[in-house]
Structure 1
Amino acid sequence: MPRVVVFDEFGGPDVMHVVEEPVVEPAAGEVRVRIEAFAVNPLDRMMRSGTSPAIVPLPHARLGVEGTGVIDALGTETTGLRVGDPIILAAVPNASVNGSYAEYTTLPASQVVARPAGLGITEAAAIWVAYSTAYGALVEKASMRPGDHVLIAGASGGVGRAAKQIANQIGAVPIAVTRHTTRKDDLLAAGATAVIATDHEDVAEAVRRHTGGRGADIVLDMVMGPGQQDLLKAARPGGTLVAAGFLDPRPTPVPTSTPLTVFSYRSFEHTLDAVVVNRMTAFLNAGVRLGALRPAVDRVFALDDVVEAHRHLEKGLHGGKKIVVTV
C-alpha cells in the first residue's frame, strides 16, 4: 500500500514515522495526486513540534503544505484537469489530514495548479509557498510598482529570496536586511540591489543612503519582534509595511503614530482565492519562462529519510534554500 508520513505526539524529528495506508478515492470536485516530491517548510516543523498557531489533532497527524506530482484520479464533477496532468499544490489548508508528506493525497481540484513548464520536479516542489507568499505580500497587498524601493527583512529565508526575484521581475529595487555582514555576497548574488548588515549598520540611515534620503516605499518584514521599530523608521512617510513572518519569537510592539500603512499578511489569505491564484500562477509561469524566478534547492532527501531532512532543517544551515524530499 502507499506510504504516508505521520506523527502521534509532538516533539523532535524522531516522532515522524512512515506507515502504509490505502488510497482515498476523490469525492465530487476533488482530485487524487500522486506526489513526486515535497518541500520541507518551517510550518511543518511548528506543526510537528506542537508550536503551530493552528490546532493539530493527534494521533496520526500528517504534514506538508507544498509539493508537486501528477493527477492520479478525478472525482465526479471535476473539470479542467485530466489524469496524468503535472501539477503543484497551491493550497493545503488542512495539512494534518491531507498533507503532502505522502505518496498520494486527495484534495479539492481548486487547490492545484498546472506545473510551470521548465521546472524540474525538485524545483516545482519548492516554488509555491515562498513565491506565492512573497507575491501576495508585495504585489497584492502592498501594490509594488516599478521603481519602488523594497526593504526586505529576513532576506536570507525562502520568502526573502523569492521577494528579491519578484521585485526584480517587476522592476522594483530590492534592499536586503541581514544580521551578519558575512551574508552580503550571497544576498547580492541572490538578487539584492543593496544589502544592509545590522551588525555594522543602522538600518534607517543605510536605507536613506540607498534611496536618496527618501526611505523605503515598501517594507516586507519576515522577522517581526522588537526589530520592527527600526524598519518603521526606515520607511518613507506614506509607505507600506507588510508583516508576513514570525522568525523572531519575541513580542512585536504595536505600531503607533506611524505615517505608514501597516498590513499583517498570511499566505492563505490569497491562496484560497481562485481569482488571486490565477494571477499568481500567471506571474509565476511568466517568471519561470523568462528565467527571472527560480527556487534555490539546498538538499534532496528520499521519503525514507524524512527524519534526517527535518534534522537538517533544524540545523539552520540551508541558508533559505529549500529542502526537498522525493517520493
Structure 2
Amino acid sequence: MARHVRFHETGGPEVLRIEEVPTPEPKAGEVRISVRALGLNRADSMYRTGRYVIEPQFPATMGYEASGVIDAIGPEVKELNVGDAVSVIPAFMFDQYGLYGDLVIAPARAVVKNPDTVSWEAAAATWMPFTTVWGALIDLAKLGKGDYVVLSAASSSLGLAALQVANFVGATAIAITRKGEKVEELKSAGFAHIIQTGLDDVTAEIMKITDGAGARVVFDPVGGPDFEGIVKGTSKDAFVFIYGALSHDITPIPVLHVLAKHTTIRGYEFIEVTADDEKLARAKAFITDGLAKGVFSPQIAKVFPFEEIVEATRFLESNTQFGKIVVTL
C-alpha cells in the first residue's frame, strides 16, 4: 500500500486526508518514485478549493513538485533507471498525476536527474519557479549581461529564482515589494535594488537605478495600480511579462509610453515551456547547470513533515512565508 494525500470535497486545508491506497504501477512512459520531499504551490490550494482551471474529481489527489528515488519503470522509458535520484517538473494537470504521496507515478518526460550536490528539499523546491523564470527571461526575453529586470512580488519563490537567474547571466534585478517587513529579507537574499510601492515613486526609482535608460524586462504577477508606474520605467523595446493577477484592482496601461517605446506587454504561462519537448529539454539543461555549479539554490521558507500536510498548507495560505514551503517524507 502507498500513502497519498487526498480530499473528498472542496474546502480549506482541513479537508486534506492522508489515506492508504493501492501501490500505483507505472504504465508506458511513466516511472514510480519513492518520494523524499514535496514542494507546495498556490495552484494546489486553488485546485483544492475549486478555483482552478479544472474541477477535482473525488477522491482527488494533487501535487506538482517532488524529489525522490525511482523504484519502478514502465515500458518505453529511456535514460532513466531504478535507483536514480530525480525531481519532477510540473508538466501535467492534477487530474493526470498527483505527487502528494510516498509512492507516486510521474510521466518520464517531466522527470529530471538531480545533481549529486542538491538536497531532496532543494530539489523539490527548484523546478516550478526556475522553469517558469527560464521560459520568460531566458527563452523569450533573452536576458543577458547589462540588462535590468524588474521583479514584482520579489519575495515569492519565483521572484527569488528570477534574482538568481539574472545574476547567472549578468543582468541586474530590481525588486518590487509592497511590504516594508520584506525589505531586509530581500536584501539578505541578495537584491541590491529594492523599491517599496506606496512609499517610493516607482518610475523615478527605476529610472534612477538604470541611469535613465529604463529596464528592458519586467516580470510581473501582480498587475493593479502600480503596473503603470513600472511600465513607465521601461526602456525602448522592453518586454513586460504578466504571469499572474494577484491584485484585484484595475490594471492601467500607459498607452503613450507603450507607443513611443515600442513596448511588448505579453501574457505568459508556465505551460509554454512544459508543453514543448524541445523547450523543456533546454530548460532542464540550463537549470541543471545552474544547480551543479551551485549558483541556483531555492529559498526555502519552512520544512514540514508529511504528517503535518494540513499545517504546511495553512502556512502556504498565510502569505507570510519568504520562499518555498517543503514537506519531507
Pairwise TM-score range, normalised by the shorter structure: over 0.9
Assess if the C-alpha contact under 8 Å between 1:92 and 1:98 holds in 2: no
The residue aligned with 1:74 is 73
2:313 aligned partner: 310
Q: Does 1:263 align with 2:262?
A: no
Q: Which residue of 2 aligns with 1:93?
A: 92
Deviations 1:48-85 (A, max 9, x none): 11222x11233111111111111111111211111111
Moved more, 273-282 or 12-21: 273-282
Tell me how far apart the structure 1 counterparts of residues 274 and 234 of structure 2 sit (CA, whole Å).
28
Q: How does 1:1-327 map to 2 (within 5 A)?
A: 1-52=1-52, 54-253=53-252, 256=255, 258=258, 259-319=262-322, 321-327=323-329
1:95 aligns to what SS in structure 2?
A: coil
Code of the residue aligned with 1:262 in structure 2: it is I
For residues 241-277 of structure 1, the C-alpha deviation after alignment (integer angstroms, 9 at most, x for no partner) is: 0111232234535674523012211111102322222
Closer, same or farther: CA 201–255 of 1 in aligned 2, 3 Å: closer
Q: Which shifted more, 157-166 or 15-24?
A: 15-24
Worse overlay, 242-251 or 63-72: 242-251
| Distance in 2 between residues matched to 1:81 and 1:255, nearest whole Å | 50
Q: Is the 8 A contact 1:181 1:200 kept in 2?
A: no
SS in 2 for 1:96: coil
Task: State the Cα distance separating 1:133 from its structure 2 match.
Answer: 0.8
**Uncovered stretches (5+) of structure 2, i.e. residues with no partner:** none
Following superposition, the deviation at residue 189 of structure 1 comes to: 2.1
Q: 274-283 or 123-132, which moves further after superposition?
A: 274-283
Amino acid at match of 2:304: F
Following superposition, the deviation at residue 4 of structure 1 comes to 0.5
Q: In structure 1, what is the Cα distance between the partners aligned to 2:117 and 2:66?
A: 16
Partner Cα separation in structure 2 for residue 117 and residue 281 of structure 1: 15
Deviation digits for residues 257-314 of structure 1, max 9, x if unmatched? 5230122111111023222222222222222232211011121112111001111112
**Contact 2:86–2:111 at 8 Å: present in 1 too?**
yes
Find the residue that maps to 2:143 and give its secondary structure: coil
* Residue identity in the other structure for 2:101: A
Give a deviation string over 1:85-107, Cα, whole Å, max 9, x none: 11110134122342110112223
Per-residue displacement from partner, 1:152-207 (whole Å, max 9, x unpaired)? 11101110000011000100010111113332222122122211111321111100
Secondary structure (helix, strand or coil) at the match of 1:134 reads: helix
**Compared with structure 1, are the counterparts of its residues 197 and 270 closer, same or farther at alpha carbon in structure 2 (3 Å cutoff)?**
same
Q: Is the 8 A contact 2:65 2:89 kept in 1?
A: yes
Q: Secondary structure in 2 aligned to 1:181?
A: coil
Are the counterparts in 2 of residues 225 and 250 from structure 1 also a CA contact under 8 Å? yes
Give ranges in structure 1 of 5+ residues lacking alignment. none
Distance (Å, rounded) in 1 between the aligned partners of 2:137 and 2:150: 11
Cα distance between partner residues in 1 of 2:28 and 2:43 = 29
Length-normalised TM-score, structure 2: 0.94
AA at the equivalent of 2:50: G
Residue 6 of structure 1: how far off its partner (Å): 0.8
Per-residue CA deviation, residues 26-45 of structure 1 (Å, 9 max, x unaligned), is 11122112211101111111
Secondary structure of the corresponding residue to residue 105 of structure 2 = strand
Query: How far does the alpha carbon of each residue in 1:202-240 deviate from its partner, in whole angstroms, 9 at most, with x for none?
Result: 111100000111111101112123332222111112111
Q: Which runs of 4+ in 1 moved over 4 A?
A: 253-257
Amino acid at match of 1:289: A
Q: Distance in 2 between matches of 1:101 and 1:107?
A: 12
- Identity in percent: 37
Q: 1:160 touches 1:222 (CA, 8 Å); kept in 2? A: no
CA–CA distance in 2 between the matches of 1:75 and 1:290? Answer: 32
Distance in 1 separating the partners of 2:80 and 2:311: 35
- For the 8 Å contact 1:89–1:112, the answer to whether it is kept is yes
CA distance in 1, matches of 2:269, 2:123: 21
